[in-house]
Structure 1
Amino acid sequence: MFQVRQEPNCSTGGGSDTHFGLRVGSIFVILVGATCGALFPVLVNRSKRINIPGYVLEFAKYFGSGVIFSTAFIHLLSPALDAFNSPCLPDSWRSYPYVLALAMLSLFSLFLIEVIAFRWGTARLARPSLTQGLCSVPISPYEAHSTTFTEYETTNGHHHIHLEKGDEETASPSSKVGPDSAHAQFVSIAILEFGVVLHSVLIGLTLAVDEKFIILFVVLVFHQTFEGLGIGSRLALLKVDEKYNWVPIAGAFLYGFTTPVGIAAGLGVRTTYNPGTATASAVSGIMDAISAGILIYASLVELMAHDFLFNNEMLTASNKRLAFALGSMTLGAALMALLGKWA
């Protein structure tokens, strides 16, 4: 028997329109799941009435790091490669590894942005009018977690740095510029959220018109909830001044709303949007590749390196605590990688 080759659907017509009522309902289901996942660590960390054991929040923190790490490779880089291999795209798109180049470009761009941001922030806080006598200027990431430096001015007008141990709490969050400062954490979470938001909008568009809606819907409920837990655990640890306490909550809601917005937009253009067309494949591949670079950088540098390699507390922790942290992160990465089998 001869097998009939199925031609790719490259037409500009709309995607699948089955289960329309359930697709509409998915907006609210994913909205609740994603928002609750992101808000839970933030609210629990602030609440004085809810007594959650510390190991639960530790688990959420490291589990979320694993989720984000796995998302970068399995749910972003792999779909980007598939999109650029679409038969609807001209052969010129496959003549160069554009996906890997775009991921590398976004990763390297973030590195440059952070270098510039830290240099600019350090230079501003080094001014006498801004330091107000106390400024934390870590020489290396290893010292940033256990050492602060007090700046004082000598009679000849030169500024010197005096090392002091254990004075982290005396400096206000806004006066620090090291890896644990409010400035550094804000940049880190902004990078992380930007990459996740791009990804969430794209998967929302796909869910709205994909033919395998039921399987994709079930998987994305878990996907967005787990990813929200990872974002929320980082938002909960964000050190901000009291007047900016709304920032972590706003970040959690922003994440929760992105996928439903993508679904709603997809349903609105379902009669004309086909994810298999050349334009859709190119746009999806480019956005996924850029997001993959962002999350690879964020997970390896901002999360894993700072949590384990540049953290004196973890470097000197007991083997039991280290095993718990690594096990939690591995579990998050493994579960998210497993979800990649269906979505």
Structure 2
Amino acid sequence: MHVMPDSFEDLTSECLPERPWRKFPFTTFIAMLSAVFTLVIDSCCVSCFKKKFVAAAATNANASTCLEAGERKEVQLFGHSHCAGHGHDLHADAEQLLRYRVVAQVLEVGIVVHSVVTGLSMGASMNPCTIKPLIAALCFHQMFEGMGLGGCILQGECGMKVKAIMVFFFSTTTPFGIALGIALSNVYSDRSSESLIVEGILNAVSAGLLNYMALVELLASDFMGPKLQGSKKMMALAFLAVLLGAGGMSVMAIWA
């Protein structure tokens, strides 16, 4: 909600030369490229790991199922259709699991980039009136982002090592950005051309990535899934929850 306007403000600032920064909408252009690049990365990740992961999982599980001692006779009589059905279900489950893992990792990247920029801005700020409300907004902001990312990690059924790494980066990137901002506060000026360009570009990249993930990977996949499509009541509640969440984040954007 606030990332895109922040990028607009940075890249159209009076502190930057009029050409080219105020003659071309760099924010929307970079956000569009970021969304397309995220789509490419998403597609390539699924394409690269799909054959290895899904085929291996389906083959191993199918073989172990069909060769159980108690089912050998049944497999001899009806084994072809039985194994084919199992193979199809396992293939679909493995593909969906892989999808969840890719979504969790790409979402983590977007949150990390955004968190570093936010922490850097807050750490370098010298105005207590700006910092105090920003801390409260940041706490709620990180909490909701963490809840969303945690849900994606659980759906992906990642191992403990991967979970620990993702939790570590999510937990430390904002404090790292704050510490970096404090360390650079003597030489860092949020009105300098270099800082405006860097922050504006990073915010635009983060906005494009997070918009793609939110609309395409998270909301669209849930609302088009069989669980919501099969229940009008649940779909209505889901729409209400999305509107309430968007409204809450819009209110927090006043201070963010």
Q: Give the structure with the larger strand fraction.
A: 1
Partner of 1:81: 8
Letter matched to residue 90 of structure 1: P
Letter matched to residue 78 of structure 1: P
Change (3 A) 1:239 1:274: same
Q: CA deviation at 1:114?
A: 2.2
User: What is the TM-score of this pair, normalised by structure 2?
Assistant: 0.82
Q: CA deviation at 1:253?
A: 2.9
Partner of 1:279: 194
Gaps of 5+ in 2: 64-82
Identical positions, percent = 30
For the 8 Å contact 1:81–1:99, the answer to whether it is kept is yes
Partner of 2:246: 333
Letter matched to residue 100 of structure 1: T
Q: Give runs of aligned pairs for residues 204-219 of structure 1, distance below 5 A.
A: 204-210=119-125, 211=127, 212-219=130-137
Highest RCO, 1 vs 2 (Cα 8 Å, sep ≥ 6): 1
Partner of 2:85: 164
Structure 2 CA distance, aligned partners of 1:252 and 1:208? 22
For the 8 Å contact 2:58–2:91, the answer to whether it is kept is no
Letter matched to residue 80 of structure 1: S
User: What is the TM-score of this pair, normalised by structure 1?
Assistant: 0.62
Structure 2 CA distance, aligned partners of 1:190 and 1:335? 25
Give the alignment partner of residue 166 of structure 2, picking from 228, 251, 274: 251
Residue 176 (str. 1) matches residue 94 (str. 2): yes
Query: For 1:132-187, what per-residue CA distance to the aligned partner results, in whole angstroms no more than 9, with x for missing partners?
Result: 4749xxxxxxxxxxxxxxxxxxxxxxxxxx8638974xx399x822xx22x22121
Q: Give runs of aligned pairs for residues 113-152 of structure 1, distance below 5 A.
A: 113-124=41-52, 131-132=59-60, 134=62
SS at structure 1 position matched to 2:215: helix
Change (3 A) 1:236 1:120: closer
Q: CA deviation at 1:249?
A: 3.8
Letter matched to residue 31 of structure 2: A
Structure 2 CA distance, aligned partners of 1:166 and 1:314? 26
Partner of 1:295: 210
Q: CA deviation at 1:264?
A: 0.8
Residue 239 (str. 1) matches residue 157 (str. 2): yes
SS at structure 2 position matched to 1:176: helix
Partner of 2:40: 112
Q: What is the RMSD of the two structures over their aligned residues, measured on CA atoms? A: 2.8
Give the alignment partner of residue 181 of structure 2, picking from 247, 266, 269: 266
For the 8 Å contact 2:124–2:184, the answer to whether it is kept is no
Query: For 1:25-70, what per-residue CA distance to the aligned partner results, in whole angstroms no more than 9, with x for missing partners?
Result: xxxxxxxxxxxxxxxxxxxxxxxxxxxxxxxxxxxxxxxxxxxxxx
Give the alignment partner of residue 313 of structure 1, picking from 211, 219, 227: 227
For the 8 Å contact 1:84–1:282, the answer to whether it is kept is yes
For the 8 Å contact 1:231–1:252, the answer to whether it is kept is no
Gaps of 5+ in 1: 1-73, 136-161
Structure 1 CA distance, aligned partners of 2:237 and 2:161? 31
Q: Give the structure with the larger helix fraction.
A: 2
Corresponding residue pairs, total: 234
For the 8 Å contact 2:57–2:94, the answer to whether it is kept is no
For the 8 Å contact 1:195–1:295, the answer to whether it is kept is yes
